[in-house]
Amino acid sequence: MLVSGGDDGTFRVWDLRNFKSGQPAAQFKWHTDAITSVQWHPTDQSVIAVAGADNQITLWDLSVEDDTEAADEEGERPDVPPQLLFIHQGQEDIKEVHWHKQMPGVLLSTAHSGFNIFKTISV
């Protein structure tokens, strides 16, 4: 599997076994500006960290399936994709995001406003 980010804020997951089809295995549009960095989790094959020029870092778990029966009282489906685990904000002009290989669940990010080290309870 390969993950790529686009200038339109979309990131795609490609299955290289079926790459000739030209269609991604999954596609997500959450960020409102260009994707600046993506990285798979070092031990959990379904988790991805995505950084965007919209000053957000998002964590995604692709093993979560869409619940087609989920709806509120009015029958509206939630606007947040079920695969979206976490949104980290507070940095400006994020450039890179990387998983710490020795501390599970810890992320490091660099930005114009400095760098962050954080751990979520999601992963």
Q: Which two tokens stand for residue 88?
A: 């980290």
Domain boundaries, the chain: 2-119
Q: What are the tens digits of pLDDT across the range 67-111?
A: 666 555 665 655 888 899 999 998 999 999 999 988 888 999 999
Containing 56, the helix (H) or strand (E) segment is: strand 56-61
Containing 95, the helix (H) or strand (E) segment is: strand 94-99
Q: What are the tens digits of pLDDT across the range 9-68?
A: 999 999 888 777 788 988 999 999 999 999 999 999 899 999 999 999 999 999 887 766
CB 85, CB 122: distance < 8 Å: yes
CATH topology of domain 2-119: Methylamine Dehydrogenase; Chain H (2.130.10)
